[in-house]
Amino acid sequence: MSLLDLLLLLSLLTTLYLYAFGNHRNAGHLGMVVYAVATGLVIAMAGPLADGTGAVGSTFAPVMLGHVLSWSMDGLGWFFALLTTGAAFFASWYMSGEWNAEQPNKRIQHGTLALNVFCMLLLLSSGDLLSLFIGWEFVSWAAFLMMTQLGSHAARAAFRYMLYALAGAMAVFAAILIVKAQIGSFAFADLRAAVPALSDGLKWLLFGLFGLGFGVKMAIVPFHLWQAPAYSFTPGASSAFLNAVSARMGLFAILLVLGKLIGFATLSDLALPLIPMDAKTLLMWVAAITMVVPTFIALMQTDARMLLTWHGIGQGGYMLLGVLVATPLGTAAGLMHVLNYASYQMALVLAVFAVIHRTGTADLDELGGLIKRMPFTYLALLMGIIGLAGLPPMNGFVSKWMIYKSLLDTQQPLLLIAAFVGTLGTILSVYKLIHNIFLGQLRAEHQKVGEAPGSMLAPMLILAGIGFATGFFPGLALGVVDVAQAALGVELLPHGLGGVYLATGSLNMIWVVGIMIGAIGFGAFVFYVIGNRRYGVHQFDNYAGGHFLSADIRYHFSHEFYPGLARLIGPWYRGSVVNMENGLMIGLKTAGDLWHGAFRIAYTPFYLLVALAIGLWWAGLDGGF
Amino acid sequence: MTDAMLLAEALGDVLYTGAIGLILLGLYAMVVPRHLVRIVLGLLLVQSGVNLFLVAVGYRPEAAAPILLGGQAIGPVVDPLPQALVLTAIVIGVGVLALALALVVRVKDVHGTLDSREVAERMAAETGDSRLMPETAPGRGAAVPAREMLEDRS
Amino acid sequence: MIGTAHQIVLPVVLPLLAAFLLPLVGRLHVWPARLLGQIVGVLHLAVVAYLWTLVGGGETIVSALGGFAPPLGIVLYADRLSVLFLLVLSVGILLFWPRREHGGTRADTLTLLLLGGGSGLVLSGDLFNIFVFYEIVAVASYGLAASGGNAAGFGAALRYLLLSALGSALALLGIALVYGAAGTLNLADLSVLAPERLSGPMGLAAFLLLVLGFGVKAELFPVNTWVPEVYTAAPTRVTAILAGVVSKLSMVVILRLLVLIFADPGAQTLLLVLGLAGVIAGELAAFRAPDLNRTFAFSSIAQLGLVAVAFSIPDDLGIAAGIAVAVHHAVVKPGLFVIAGHWTGPIERLGGAARVSRPAAIAFVLLSLSIIGIPPFPGFWVKLLLLGEAFAAVDPVYALAGAVILAATVVEAAYLFRAAALMWEPPEGDNRPPAAFPLARLAPTLVLTLLILLAMGAVSPLGEALEAMAAEVGDAAIYVGNVLPGRI
């Protein structure tokens, strides 16, 4: 029994146990223990994988219809597995205490989390295309179960997700079957070996189908509409888990199939007919659009969860763009961004759900001034948004810097500008998030609100702490990234504890953060010690234009944040993608109505006659009458 | 070739033409009229046409009826198999026709009309509504969540 | 090895005999008649199981009726394919034996007729004999369709009868064409003569007529317009039998015709086009169906379309895929029809169903997942087999068909899960949740769901058995060699 067997068995048994007994008070703690053990198992697997060629196999290899299904985890899967079990650990921690006590559907929450972890591990360790597809379907349906648990809005969003995911899965299925028909095998190695001999048309087809299928899961534009509502209406820690990990499965599959098996180099040889662009550049531009458009849509959201999940879509674009640059720096940047994003996005989502837990709302127009009531939640959220915006000293800065740098090094100024524009949108919108929740006027109805309980604070603060630590010492994360990068066959990036060493300019975060802390310390010294005397005022003790303002006067500017910008980008928001989706659905309904009507009204033998006439005519034609 | 043979061949052609004609006539009667009994009669015509066709397949000019006495063939005989088949087909046809007419009677009883389109409309009305859900009164609660499911654009 | 045992007459003769006895017994008392019917059903199953032990290893049984040797005499031919579908028929009918009606035994008689006629349909090795058995099945199913006693039932049965009888007449015309061209009706004999005498437009026209005729029961496009009406108006059990079993028997006949007599690209293209049109029409219409009964009726059309597409692939594995789709559908769809038969009315009213009857809702979800083709359910492996063949076929038109089927799968998932998701929602507005499911009514569904779950563990052996079966069925020479040992 290999370590992988042990890991899969452990998570399968956990799933079964939690589905049966998840209502127990200690289910969350049990989950924590299991996911900690699972993380340990994953870490224990690192040894043979580090050189990039090793893999931990599974002894479970059923033969189905003559195809041997195999599971084995290489460095790439390992990287994402570590992410998965780690995220599950924090999610379970969050669910273990007060949150757990108040949820009506504990069993489902714990069970679906465990199920998702199991399915993801299965996908991440798939050893051939067929097991990859099976894992892919498992992950899709497990996520559907997790999303649909609250019913009503959540069920609708999950249903929409399911349609997208299934359409994507069918594209993947078609691609896999085409591969099988062409090369006669589902094995990864055979596909890799056969790619150079495939015709350009076939490569385009495979690129399109795989890209579409995996891209849907990653929510790349224009297949992104499902993601924000589906993730937002999922409760608490489940939502954080989905945000951190779920869409990354799409990135994993793109890296595995397009990056490792077909090869990004092959894609850049596929030229488009009329415009000077190849398949890889096309995908990079899709990633760039994914970076920019959802970020500005996020700006328009008034629900804190939706704001974050829309950002999640945009951040996926950064990761995809990074790995598509395909230089050592770009790949490392994209992969590191996966880890970084998971840490701060989870912290952010958990913080927002802590606010919902205390105040009962995520509506950014209904909140404000909670900084004194929930200071630690504020701290977690602050650190999170700094990471999300990609500013020092958090880890988001490191990976984004590396992405910018890799684009610069490969001389792609337009994409670089797109990345900057995306970051600009992020900075604008995360300010909206923290301002509307924590700053400004406290609402009268939130006067009694207390700090989130420890079981919820601890995971988000630790996650934010991880974000800071890997920002201060990026080497910690880059060591993990190396394993995946080696498995992808990309040259390793030289790095140390403080950052990366490059011929064209290195980054040492210890210096950056050191100087920053020094400067802030100096500023604080000036402000607090040398400066004028300060007066502490109560939150309600406010003045505007010389007038005293009481709590019942609304002056907290939260409604219609960024009105000018909103007018500018409003048309995007009512964008054509939504119309496209609507149009597709209307077309489908119309076609359905037509057929349905045809079955209902017509007098039956008529069709028979028509078919007979056409058939006889065709038979005569075919037979050469 | 004798006149008799020519006549016989012409007879074969007449048989085929007649069979096809009967089938086409029957098809017309099944598709165009709306009166159920006419439609059933159309079916009868089609069946008769097909039977005639089948008999014609076994027909040979100048051949005798396939009645063999004492195991001795007395010159060419027409193919006996199609005739046997047609006998069976006729029997089946009669049975089906009887059943069809019985059903027409029942339809007239329960729907009160012999107009096929009216029957179809009544059936749609009957099966389209809740047939076996006595708890829910029809027409109450205009909520349509299933459709909304696909129209939600949050 | 070829057996010539005459036991294969039993599955045909036993039910037919009982069907004629039943009304007589029923005159004395109802319950002995019903008991007799069901005993014969069980006996039929026992005989079929015994037959399986005879042919399971790849042997075949050929029985010349009355001692007249083929090609002149009529033969019954049992190989694994025919016995498999006998088994499906037998189990299906036992599972969905009609309910007791008011004092009568008519439904029991008709069911026995269906059992006997259906057995003859798959066993018969003579084209005209197939026609006769097809008519027996048809007449029995008209009666059963009307046996609900509701007004819509009579109307639906009449329209079904008119279409089906017209189809039968056309099939008979096709038989006449075949006989006119080849001078024989024995399938094996025809198989030998076909390349010479039935190629070209005449053969294709005959195939068209036969497919349209037999296609009425097989729910083939476009002669399936009776399907939604009858499946909605007929009693649930009858619907389950018609959709689950009878449609497959006709498909088996079409398969035999295609393999033995019309194995040319024209006929395959014809079947492919009809099948694909059925898939598209069925899934799209089901997407807009107002209630579960109609949803499943249209979905049934689409599934039978899949079978036709699979059979049209000129390869043994295509046949294997077709048989797999057919058997899978025969297991899944009756179970779903039981649910639809209880939870009638608009789909919008399904809210709260899961709370009222959780087992039914869960069975619905599991069966739906299987029919959509989600791993690890058997439906996935069936679709893998089918689509793998479609994409691997030489003719690129099959790859296109595969793409259409994949797209249709998304539509299928949309309408099935719209209903499934609703079951877990609370009832909308003032509506009450649907009526609770008595466990006795749900029992067949639970049995079938269990069967599906069990099959999940036996995919590989089932697949191998299927492939062996398909290799045997797909080779016309084996059939001819068994029936007419001297001819090849």
Q: Closest Cα partner for C241 from C89, C368, C118, C110? A: C89
Range name among A160-174, A261-275, A455-469 with the lowest pLDDT average? A261-275
Residue B150 clears pLDDT 50, i.e. is over it: no
B130 to C159: CB separation less than 8 angstroms, yes or no: no
Residue A168 clears pLDDT 70, i.e. is over it: yes
Would you state the pLDDT for residue A622?
60
CB A599 within 8 A of CB C290: no
In this prediction, residues C213-240 reach a mean pLDDT of 88
Pick A52 or A585 by higher pLDDT.
A585
Q: Which helix (H) or strand (E) holds C75?
A: strand C75-78
Distance from CA of B72 to the nearest CA of A (A): 42
Asked if B96 has any chain C CB less than 8 Å from its own CB, the reply is yes
Would you state the pLDDT for residue B74?
66
Residue of C nearest to B103 (CA): C158
CB C230 within 8 A of CB C242: yes
CB A418 within 8 A of CB A288: yes
Q: Which residues of A touch B27 (CB under 8 A)?
A: 605, 609
Count of pairs with CB atoms under 8 A, one residue in A, one in B: 31
A66 to C381: CB separation less than 8 angstroms, yes or no: no
C349 to B136: CB separation less than 8 angstroms, yes or no: yes
Contact map slice: A 580-609 vs B, CB within 8 A: 581-582, 585, 589, 600-601, 603, 605-606, 609
In sequence order, which ranges of A390-440 are alpha helices (DSSP H)? 395-409, 413-438
- Whether residue B39 lies inside any domain: the answer is yes
Assigned token pair, C28: 């004395």
C391 to A166: CB separation less than 8 angstroms, yes or no: no
CB atoms near residue A553 (< 10 Å): 12
Would you state the pLDDT for residue B135?
33
Residue of A nearest to C387 (CA): A177
In this prediction, residues A482-486 reach a mean pLDDT of 90
- Whether residue C338 lies inside any domain: the answer is yes
Q: What percent of chain C is modeled with pLDDT above 70?
A: 98
- Whether residue B138 lies inside any domain: the answer is no
In sequence order, which ranges of A184-226 are alpha helices (DSSP H)? 188-194, 200-218
Contact map slice: B 109-128 vs C, CB within 8 A: 110-111, 116, 119-120, 122-123, 126-128
Distance from CA of B55 to the nearest CA of C (A): 9
Pick B12 or A359 by higher pLDDT.
A359
Pick C343 or A567 by higher pLDDT.
C343
Q: Which residues of B touch A157 (CB under 8 A)?
A: 152, 154
Q: Does the CA dihedral A420-A422-A425-A427 come out positive or negative?
A: negative
Give the confidence band of A553 by pLDDT, cuts at 50, 70, 90. confident
Residue numbers of the domain that contains C292: 126-474
Of C167, C372, C403, the CB nearest to A174: C403
Summarize pLDDT for A296-336 with one digit per residue, the tens: 888 888 899 999 999 999 999 999 999 999 899 999 999 99
A606 to B31: CB separation less than 8 angstroms, yes or no: yes
Distance from CA of C341 to the nearest CA of A (A): 20
B89 to C185: CB separation less than 8 angstroms, yes or no: no
Same domain, C103 and C175: no
CA atoms within 13 A on the CB side of A199: 5
In this prediction, residues A10-18 reach a mean pLDDT of 93
What is the radius of gyration, based on Cα positions, of chain C?
A: 21
Would you state the pLDDT for residue A79?
93
Would you state the pLDDT for residue A572?
64
Residue C152 clears pLDDT 90, i.e. is over it: no
Would you state the pLDDT for residue C377?
92
Would you state the pLDDT for residue B139?
36
Note the residue count of chain C. Answer: 488
Range name among A150-154, A230-234, C329-333, C356-360 with the lowest pLDDT average? A150-154
Residue A270 clears pLDDT 80, i.e. is over it: yes
Mean pLDDT for chain C? 88
Give the confidence band of B146 by pLDDT, cuts at 50, 70, 90. very low
Would you state the pLDDT for residue A603?
66
Same domain, C146 and C6: no
Residue C305 clears pLDDT 90, i.e. is over it: yes
Count of pairs with CB atoms under 8 A, one residue in B, one in C: 159
B31 to A582: CB separation less than 8 angstroms, yes or no: no
What is the C-alpha separation between A4 and A2, in angstroms, rounded?
Answer: 5
Q: Which residues of A touch B124 (CB under 8 A)?
A: 600
Same domain, C294 and C390: yes
Assigned token pair, C27: 């005159």
Q: Which residues of C touch A181 (CB under 8 A)?
A: 388, 391-392, 399
Q: Where are the domains of chain A?
A: 580-623
Q: Does the CA dihedral A612-A617-A620-A625 come out positive or negative?
A: positive
Residue of A nearest to C386 (CA): A177
Range name among A495-504, A514-523, B66-75 with the lowest pLDDT average? B66-75
A134 to C225: CB separation less than 8 angstroms, yes or no: no
Same domain, C352 and C385: yes
C410 to A166: CB separation less than 8 angstroms, yes or no: yes
pTM given for the model: 0.91
Give the confidence band of A120 by pLDDT, cuts at 50, 70, 90. very high
Q: How far is CA A311 from CA A283, A389, A448, B154, in A?
A: 19, 10, 31, 16
Of C208, C270, C392, the CB nearest to A181: C392
Would you state the pLDDT for residue A573?
62
B152 to A157: CB separation less than 8 angstroms, yes or no: yes
Residue C118 clears pLDDT 50, i.e. is over it: yes
Q: How far is CA A199 from CA A195, A202, A270, C275, C389, in A?
A: 9, 5, 10, 31, 21
Would you state the pLDDT for residue C300?
93
Would you state the pLDDT for residue B31?
83
Q: Name the strands in the sheet holding C75-78, side by side, starting at the edge strand that comes first in the sequence.
A: C2-3, C60-64, C75-78
Of B30, B31, B152, the CB nearest to A156: B152
Q: Which residues of A touch C274 (CB under 8 A)?
A: 611
Q: Does the CA dihedral C297-C439-C96-B137 come out positive or negative?
A: negative
Give the confidence band of A139 by pLDDT, cuts at 50, 70, 90. very high
In sequence order, which ranges of A277-412 are alpha helices (DSSP H)? 279-299, 304-325, 328-359, 375-389, 395-409
Same domain, C213 and C113: no
**Considering its fold, how many domains does chain B have in total?**
1
C374 to A620: CB separation less than 8 angstroms, yes or no: no
Range name among A525-529, B113-117, C285-289 with the lowest pLDDT average? B113-117
Q: What percent of chain C is modeled with pLDDT above 90?
A: 41
Would you state the pLDDT for residue C3?
47
Asked if B63 has any chain C CB less than 8 Å from its own CB, the reply is no
Contact map slice: C 36-65 vs B, CB within 8 A: none
Same domain, C77 and C157: no
Count of pairs with CB atoms under 8 A, one residue in A, one in C: 167
Residue of B nearest to C166 (CA): B43
Query: Which residues are C124's β-sheet partners?
Result: C76
Q: Which residues of A touch C308 (CB under 8 A)?
A: none
Summarize pLDDT for C422-467 with one digit per residue, the tens: 888 888 777 788 888 888 888 889 999 999 999 988 888 888 888 8
Q: Does the CA dihedral C361-C367-C368-C373 come out positive or negative?
A: positive
Question: What DSSP character marks residue A242?
Answer: I
- Whether residue B145 lies inside any domain: the answer is no
Q: Closest Cα partner for A196 from A255, A256, A266, A295? A: A266
Residue that finishes a domain, picked among C125, C155, C175: C125
Residue C257 clears pLDDT 60, i.e. is over it: yes
- Hey, which of A491-505, A537-551, B120-134, C117-131 has the most confident mean pLDDT? C117-131
Summarize pLDDT for C52-93 with one digit per residue, the tens: 888 888 888 888 877 777 777 888 888 889 999 999 999 999
Would you state the pLDDT for residue C101?
67
In this prediction, residues A478-498 reach a mean pLDDT of 89
B136 to C418: CB separation less than 8 angstroms, yes or no: no
Q: How far is CA A111 from CA A16, A86, A105, A278, C473, in A?
A: 7, 17, 10, 44, 47
Would you state the pLDDT for residue A575?
62
Distance from CA of A476 to the nearest CA of C (A): 39
Distance from CA of C295 to the nearest CA of B (A): 12
Range name among C102-111, C236-245, C472-481 with the lowest pLDDT average? C102-111
Q: Which residues of B touch A589 (CB under 8 A)?
A: 150
Would you state the pLDDT for residue B72?
65
In this prediction, residues A234-255 reach a mean pLDDT of 91
Of A155, A585, A603, the CB nearest to B116: A603
Range name among A396-405, A476-485, C342-351 with the lowest pLDDT average? C342-351
Pick C153 or C331 by higher pLDDT.
C331
Same domain, C409 and C357: yes
Residue of B nearest to C435 (CA): B133
Asked if A610 has any chain B CB less than 8 Å from its own CB, the reply is no
What is the C-alpha separation between A476 and A337, in angstroms, rounded?
Answer: 13
Annotate C255-275 with b (16+ C-beta within 10 A) or e (fewer): bbbbbbbbbbebbbbbbbbbb
**Considering its fold, how many domains does chain C have in total?**
2
Q: Which residues of A touch B152 (CB under 8 A)?
A: 153, 156-157, 160
Summarize pLDDT for B129-141 with one digit per residue, the tens: 433 333 333 333 3
- Whether residue C488 lies inside any domain: the answer is no
Of C208, C426, C463, the CB nearest to A616: C208
Distance from CA of C400 to the nearest CA of B (A): 27
Residue that finishes a domain, picked among C125, C144, C174: C125
Question: What DSSP character marks residue A624?
Answer: T
Residue numbers of the domain that contains B30: 3-63+79-126
What is the C-alpha separation between C433 and A299, in angstroms, rounded?
Answer: 41
Assigned token pair, C134: 């097809």
Would you state the pLDDT for residue A574?
63
Report residue C286: phi and psi, to 5°.
-65, -35
Range name among A134-138, A350-354, A584-588, C138-142 with the lowest pLDDT average? A584-588
Asked if A573 has any chain B CB less than 8 Å from its own CB, the reply is no
Residue B12 clears pLDDT 80, i.e. is over it: no
Q: Which residues of A touch B154 (CB under 8 A)?
A: 153, 156-157, 229
Residue A257 clears pLDDT 90, i.e. is over it: yes
Distance from CA of C204 to the nearest CA of A (A): 6
What is the C-alpha separation between A547 and A544, in angstroms, rounded?
Answer: 5
Residue A191 clears pLDDT 70, i.e. is over it: yes
Residue of B nearest to A588 (CA): B150
Q: What percent of chain A is modeled with pLDDT above 70?
A: 97
Same domain, C119 and C170: no
DSSP string, C364-379: HHHHHHHHHT-TTSHH
Residue that finishes a domain, picked among C125, C143, C175: C125
Q: Which residues of C touch A177 (CB under 8 A)?
A: 387-388, 390-392, 402
Asked if B146 has any chain C CB less than 8 Å from its own CB, the reply is yes
Mean pLDDT for chain A? 87
ipTM: 0.92
Would you state the pLDDT for residue A288?
93
Distance from CA of A316 to the nearest CA of B (A): 21
What is the C-alpha separation between A44 and A56, in angstroms, rounded?
Answer: 11
Of A155, A162, A604, the CB nearest to C226: A604
Residue of C nearest to B104 (CA): C158
Q: Which helix (H) or strand (E) holds A597?
A: helix A576-601
Would you state the pLDDT for residue B133?
32
Would you state the pLDDT for residue B129?
42
